[in-house]
Amino acid sequence: MVYTVVDIAAILASDSKVVNDHVVEHLLLDSRKAFLPATSLFFALVSARRNGHDFIGELYQKGVRSFVVSQPVEAGVFCDANFIRVPDTVAALQRLAAYHRDRFSIPVIGITGSNGKTIVKEWLFQLLQPDYTIVRSPKSYNSQIGVPLSIWQLRSHHTLALFEAGISLPGEMQKLAAIIKPTIGVFTTIGDAHSEGFESQAEKEKEKRKLFAAAVLPRPLEVLTTKATTFGTAIKARLTSQPSVTSLGDTTADVLQIEIPFSDQASIQNAVRCWELLLHLGYQPGVIAERMRQLTSVDMRLTLKKGIHQCMLVNDSYSADNSSLQIALDFLSQQAGALRKTVILSDFLQQTEADTHLYEQVFESLQKRNVRRLIAIGPRIGQAVAKANLLYEVKTFSSTEAFLRTDLRQEFSKEAILIKGARPFAFERIVQALEQQVHESRLEIDLAALLHNLHQYQHRLGSSTRIMAMVKAFAYGSGAAEVASLLQFHKVDYLGVAYADEGVALRKAGITIPIMVMNPEEAAFEVLLANRLEPVIYSMAMLCQLDEWLQKELISGYPIHLEIDTGLHRLGLEHERAEEWIKQVVKTSSFTVQSIFSHLAASEDPQQDEFTLMQYDRFIRTAVVVEQQLGYTLVKHIANSAAAIRLSKLKLDMVRLGIGLYGVETTPGLSLLPVATLRSSIAQVRTLNAGETISYNRRTTLMRTSRIATVRLGYADGYPRALGNGVGKVLVGGQLVSIVGSICMDMFMIDVTDVSDVREGDEVILFGSALPVQQVATWATTIPYEILTGISERVKRVYFE
C-alpha cells in the first residue's frame, strides 16, 4: 500500500505544489528520529514548548524533502523540498491516518479506560498471536498524535488490529474514534487516573465510551469467585445477559473457569477483559483456559544495564516486532553515546509469506542508525541475512542455545547492545549471560520519570527560558552519562558539573552539548580545553590564572561563565567590586563570557524571600554593569529548582535544575515523580528470643520473640548509619518495618515479625515512590541531596524507560 507526496497532498486537500514527488513510508514528528529521510514526511507540530517549523532546516540537512506545515516557510531556501500547507498540522496528521484506516476491513479492537489499557492490549496480543497477524499500538501510543502513528502501521498482511485510545479532556475521544473506527470495543476500568480535565468520573466514563459509538462490546463476565493457588489465581465467572459492564449475571448461565499466573487485583481485572474478548471471538473455553495459563507479565520498560567488558545492555527481550523495534533502536541511539552499536535480534514470529519485505525494512533501519553488528538468532532471520547484502558485520545462530555456547567474553567489548527477541527465544538468558555480575542491591533509575519532571518544568517555564540540568555528583547518584544522554536527546540547553573530570567522563560517553564546570582548577586547564568544557570564573585569582594560560597557548575567545557572590558566601566574584574585576575581563581577548549567574541561599523557604529578593537585586545590578562594560548581552541565571517555580521573575534567561529534576520537590507547585528507587534483598531470616541483642555494640535488645531478617546493604553502600537502632524503616511486602541494631558495613537487620511469609531473597525497598527519600532523610536528620549522592558506585544502577 503505497502513498506518494502527491497522494497525501490530495488527501489533505492542500493545493500546494509538489516539486519532488516520492514514496512516503514514514511519518516523522521528531527531528531527532530522521533515520530514513528519503521516504519520510515531517509534520511540523506546534506546542507550547517547541515549534516543529524551527527544525525544518535541520531536517533538510539530514535529507528530508517533504514537510506538512501550517506556518510560512521560505520555500526558496529549500529548492527541491515539498511543503504541504494546511491550517492545522495535528488535524492533518489525524486526517491522513483516518484515510489510511478506511482502506482496511479487518477486525479492529479499540481499547480504552482509566487503567490497564496497555496491559490488556499486550495480553490480547499474546493470546491472539497464534491465529492472527496483528498490528498494535507501540507501547502506550494512545494520544492525539500517538493514535495516528499507530494506525499508520496498518499493512495489507495484517488480519487484526489492537489500538489504545487515551484522553485527558472532553471532546478528544470523538477525534480518536473517527481515526480508529473500532469494530469491537474493550473498556478496561474507570478510575481516578487522568481525571484532572473532567468534572466527574461519570463525565469521564461517558467521554471514553464515545470510542464505541459504532463498535460491538463483548458480553461481560460476572466474576463469581477468585481463589489463590500455588500457580496464581483461579477465577470462576459466567456470562451476563446484556453487553454492559454493569449488568447483572444470568443465573442460568454456565460457569466458566480460568487460571492465571498472577494474584493482584489489577491483573485479575485485566485478564477478565481479555477473557470476554476471546469468548466474543468464538474461542472455546478449553483453548482460552490453556492460553490464559501461559500469560506472561508485560515488561513495559526498556531497561539499561551494565554489561561485561564495559558494555551497555538495552534489554527489550519480551517481544520482537517492527514497531517496537523502532522504539528500541531510538532508545539505543539515545543512550549509546560513543559506544559502537550491536543488535541481537530473533525471528519475528508474526512474519507471513505476504510480508516478504519485513526483514529488508529491519536491516535498513539498523543501517540508518549506524548499527555496526547484527547477531541474528533463528531460522527465518538467518535465511533473510543470507539473501541480503548488508554493509555491517553479521553473525547468525540457529537458536539461543547455539549463541550461548559461544565464548561471550571474547565476543563483546565496549559496545551498546540491544537485546530484542520474541518470548519463545528466552533472550533473558542472554541478558543474564552478558550482564555484569555485581552487588545484588540496585538503584533503579526511571528515565521516564526524569523526562516527566523535565517536561513539568518546561511547561511551567515556557519556551523562552533555557534549562541547565545539573548532573554533578554522578547526577545526584543517578548516573551522569546515562542521565546526560537522555537530557541531550531531549534538547536541554546546558549541563552543569562540579569538576572537570566529571565533564571529561561525559564527553567520553558521547555528550556534545555545552557543559559548564562549576569548580575548575588550574591543573585542569588543559583538560578543559581538550574536552570543550566551559569553566566558571569565581575569583580574580582564577580569572588571572586562566587568562595567563590561554595567552601562552595563543587562544582567544574561550567561553567562560562568571559566578557572582550575592549572599551565599561560598564562591563567587564580589558583587560590590564588579567595576574592578570586569576591567580584567574586558582588557583581555582570552575570553568570551557566555553567562553570568549567582547562587541563592534559601530560595525554597518563603520566610527568607526578603533575603532571596535582595540577592536577586544585587545580581541584576551587577549584570547590568558587566554587560555595559562588555558591550554585549549575557545569558543570566540565578534560579534553582525551587526559585524557578516559587518566584517566577527570577527565571530570567535560564534556570538551573538540580534536585527537582530527580523528583525531590523542594516547593509545591509541580507534579514530580521520584526517579530513583533503592532496592535490596533479604539474605537470611531467623527467629530470636526476647532478650537477645542485635548487631555491633548490642544497642538493640529484643522485647519479644522476633523474626529478624538481614538485608544485603550497609554503610559502605552509602546507607546512613544514623538510621540504625529503630530510627529508620524500610518496606518489605508493602509494609514498613523497623531497622534493628546498628547498620553494618555491608548489611543491616530488620524486624519482620509482623509481616507474613517473609523469605530469603524477598525484595526490600529502602526508598522510592512508596517510601520517599525525603522521609528517609528526615529520619537520618539530613537532606535528600546527601542520601541520593551518597549511594556508592558499587550499588548497581539499572536504567529503564
- Please tell me the total number of residues recorded for the chain in this structure: 801
Give me 538's grid cell: 569565581
Residue 253's nearest CA partner among 222, 289, 281 is: 222
Q: How far is CA 601 from CA 571, 604, 645, 707, in A?
A: 12, 9, 16, 46
| β-strands 558-565, 591-598 pairing | parallel
Active site residue 472: yes
Q: Out of 472, 636, 651, 729, pick the active-site residue.
A: 472
CA gap 434, 267 in Å, rounded:
31
Rounded (10°) CA dihedral 617, 623, 629, 630: -170
What are the residues whose beta carbons fall under 8 Å from the beta carbon of 609, sequence distance 6 or more?
A: 647
The dihedral sign for the CA sequence 456, 461, 467, 472: negative
Query: Which secondary structure element, helix H or strand E, spans residue 343, and what is its range?
Result: strand 340-346
- Record the cell numbers describing residue 762, joined without a space: 524477598
Residue 175 known to be catalytic: no
Whole-angstrom distance, CA of residue 525 vs CA of residue 500: 9
In whole angstroms, what separates CA 380 from the centre of its chain? 32
Helices of type H across 554-656? 578-587, 609-630, 641-646
For 353, residues 6+ apart whose C-beta sits below 8 A from its C-beta are none
Rounded Cα distance between 540 and 587, Å, is 14
How many C-beta neighbours within 10 Å does residue 377 have? 26
The Cα–Cα gap between 301 and 311 comes to 19
Query: Is residue 477 a contact partner of residue 788, using CB atoms and an 8 Å limit?
Result: yes
Determine the Cα–Cα distance for residues 329 and 16; give it in Å rounded to an integer. 34
Catalytic residue among 227, 414, 508, 696: 696
Helix 285-293 crosses helix 117-128 at what angle (to 10 degrees)? 120
Active-site positions read 472, 696
